[in-house]
């Protein structure tokens, strides 16, 4: 185990080096570029034995990864923002074909107005594409997810592609000290990819075929079942990860001081650290505050969130997303989890960080105070309730 000072992108690239994909196909886009640059350097210096394929677009990047996966190879790609949207068609081919590709997405704002900074509207718009979606908080978790993602995606019960999301710039470009596992440990943790779902000259197959109205729905159901099965596989994978590497993760959500909390702030990604600090400050003022960080948006942690909120008096969802005409998508998902659990807890939705706008500690404390006073249901930080400017 060695320690290095790395950005989120670089840490992810180190994780991919340990996962040893056979094929990497990617097209550069800010703020993802550095993960691809580092991987190309590793291939160049021989420390990573991968076929690095330069493609002409994101649509081709994922198409190429699908082709590689259909040949039985372990495949990696990475993108961001408009690039993710450009490859959206292929996201569905990958998940419908049950190809366990791993992709890093640097969460970034979507045009227009054009903007390269971080928010989560790109990946959250693709929640229905049939991919596992994880959101990392820091560089170490990014590296660890790079390694864990293949094991989860390739598990025979899952066979589902995996998107790991890193907040653009705030996570992809900031530096932290990161522990890098030894390659022998990684090899022990992550076995070679074996599948029947591939081109095989000895045993010819139809691959990626069509299915009409009589059978199509069964394939969709099985893909859904595969994604649901990921929840148990994630837990099992994290247990083994902790045994080998010594770092523990907490499954689909991470909780902070929620056991006795009256007010719980739910968020995802790199802003969670500031939320935890704010919760500590609220507690110093006598307000029992807690934080839930959603680590996985798909499969969605319905039961986990409901259980964590069960005794709360109110909750807020802070997200870097807005589903125009409704509310933040994470808020919609959380409310559904509560409804299914028979819980009626007042909740508020704060939309922040769009286009990379800073979310301050003061903003987060105002969210906790809004839960006491009963602020509007949907608020844009910096504007106000329902975005009306009031």
| Minimum gap (Å) between residue 213 Cβ and another protein | 10
Identified binder of another protein from the candidate list 49, 188, 215, 377, rule CB under 8 A: 215
Window contacting another protein (CB under 8 A); options: 37-45, 114-122, 216-224, 368-376: 216-224
| Minimum gap (Å) between residue 93 Cβ and another protein | 9
Q: Given phi > 0 = left and psi -120 to 50 = alpha, else beta, which region is 278?
A: alpha
| Minimum gap (Å) between residue 16 Cβ and another protein | 24
Terminal CA-to-CA distance of the chain, rounded, Å? 53
**Stretch 164-183: interaction string toward another protein, x if CB under 8 A:** --------------------
Tokens of 169: 């710039």
**Stretch 57-96: interaction string toward another protein, x if CB under 8 A:** ---------------------------------------x
Please state, in angstroms and rounded to a whole number, the distance separating the CA atoms of residues 54 and 31: 18
Based on the shown chain and the rule CB under 8 A, indicate whether residue 204 belongs to the binding site for another protein. Answer: yes
What H or E segment, with its residue span, contains residue 180? strand 175-180
Return all residues near 243 (Cβ < 8 A) that are at least 6 apart: none
User: Is the alpha carbon torsion for 368, 372, 294, 95 positive or negative?
Assistant: negative
Radius of gyration of the chain (CA): 21
Based on the shown chain and the rule CB under 8 A, indicate whether residue 211 belongs to the binding site for another protein. Answer: yes
Based on the shown chain and the rule CB under 8 A, indicate whether residue 198 belongs to the binding site for another protein. Answer: yes
Question: What are the residue ranges of helices labelled H in 20-129?
Answer: 33-44, 58-70, 81-86, 88-96, 121-124
| Minimum gap (Å) between residue 194 Cβ and another protein | 14
Identified binder of another protein from the candidate list 188, 205, 310, 340, rule CB under 8 A: 205
| Minimum gap (Å) between residue 153 Cβ and another protein | 13
Based on the shown chain and the rule CB under 8 A, indicate whether residue 207 belongs to the binding site for another protein. Answer: yes
Please state, in angstroms and rounded to a whole number, the distance separating the CA atoms of residues 243 and 255: 21
Looking at beta carbons only, is 209 or 324 nearer to another protein? Answer: 209
In this structure, the strands spanning 132-135 and 175-180 are: unpaired
| Minimum gap (Å) between residue 202 Cβ and another protein | 12
| Minimum gap (Å) between residue 352 Cβ and another protein | 40
What H or E segment, with its residue span, contains residue 1? none
Looking at beta carbons only, is 212 or 362 nearer to another protein? Answer: 212
**# residues contacting another protein (CB under 8 A):** 22
Longest dimension (CA), the chain: 70
Based on the shown chain and the rule CB under 8 A, indicate whether residue 202 belongs to the binding site for another protein. Answer: no
Based on the shown chain and the rule CB under 8 A, indicate whether residue 218 belongs to the binding site for another protein. Answer: yes
- Report CA 200 to chain centroid distance, whole Å: 32
Based on the shown chain and the rule CB under 8 A, indicate whether residue 52 belongs to the binding site for another protein. Answer: no
Exposed / middle / buried, residue 62 (Cβ in 10 Å: 0-12, 13-18, 19+)? buried
Determine contact, residues 10/35, Cβ cutoff 8 Å.
Answer: yes
Phi, psi of 177 (to 5 degrees): -80, 125
Which residues, 219 to 258, sit near another protein by CB under 8 A?
A: 219, 222, 226
Residues that bind another protein (CB under 8 A): 96-98, 159, 196-198, 203-209, 211-212, 214-215, 218-219, 222, 226
């Amino acid at each position: 185990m060695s320690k290095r000072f790395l950005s989120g992108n670089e840490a992810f690239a180190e994780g991919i080096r340990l996962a040893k994909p056979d094929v990497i196909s990617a097209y550069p886009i800010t703020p993802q570029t550095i993960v691809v640059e580092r991987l190309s350097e590793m291939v160049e210096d021989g420390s990573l034995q991968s076929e690095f394929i330069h493609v002409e677009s994101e649509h081709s990047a994922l198409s190429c990864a699908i082709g590689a996966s259909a040949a039985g190879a372990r495949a990696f790609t990475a993108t961001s923002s408009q690039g993710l949207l450009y490859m959206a068609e292929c996201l569905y081919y990958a998940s419908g074909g049950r190809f366990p590709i791993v992709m890093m997405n640097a969460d970034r704002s979507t045009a227009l107005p054009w903007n390269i900074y971080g928010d989560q509207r790109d990946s959250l718009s693709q929640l229905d594409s049939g991919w596992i979606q994880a959101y990392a908080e820091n560089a170490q978790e990014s590296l660890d997810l790079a390694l864990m993602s293949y094991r989860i995606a390739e598990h025979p019960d899952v066979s589902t592609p995996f998107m790991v999301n890193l907040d653009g710039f705030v996570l992809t470009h900031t530096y932290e000290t990161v522990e890098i596992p030894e390659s022998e440990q990684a090899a022990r943790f992550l076995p070679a990819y074996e599948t029947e779902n591939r081109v095989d000259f000895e045993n010819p197959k139809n691959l990626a075929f069509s299915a009409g109205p009589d059978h199509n729905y069964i394939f969709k159901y099985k893909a859904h079942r595969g994604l649901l099965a990921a929840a148990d596989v994630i837990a099992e994978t994290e247990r083994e990860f902790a045994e080998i590497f010594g770092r523990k993760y907490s499954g689909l959500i991470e909780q902070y001081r929620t056991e006795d909390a009256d007010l719980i702030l739910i968020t995802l990604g790199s802003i969670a650290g500031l939320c935890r600090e704010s919760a500590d400050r609220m507690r110093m003022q006598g307000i029992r505050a807690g934080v839930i960080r959603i680590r996985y948006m798909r499969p969605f942690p319905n039961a986990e969130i409901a259980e964590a909120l069960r005794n709360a008096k109110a909750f807020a969802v802070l997200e870097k997303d807005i589903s125009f005409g409704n509310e933040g998508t994470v808020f919609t998902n959380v409310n559904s989890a509560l409804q299914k659990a028979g819980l009626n807890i007042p909740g508020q939705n704060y939309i922040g960080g769009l286009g990379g706008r800073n979310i301050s500690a003061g903003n987060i404390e105002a969210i906790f105070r809004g839960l006491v006073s009963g602020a509007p249901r949907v608020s844009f930080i910096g504007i106000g309730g329902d975005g009306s400017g009031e």
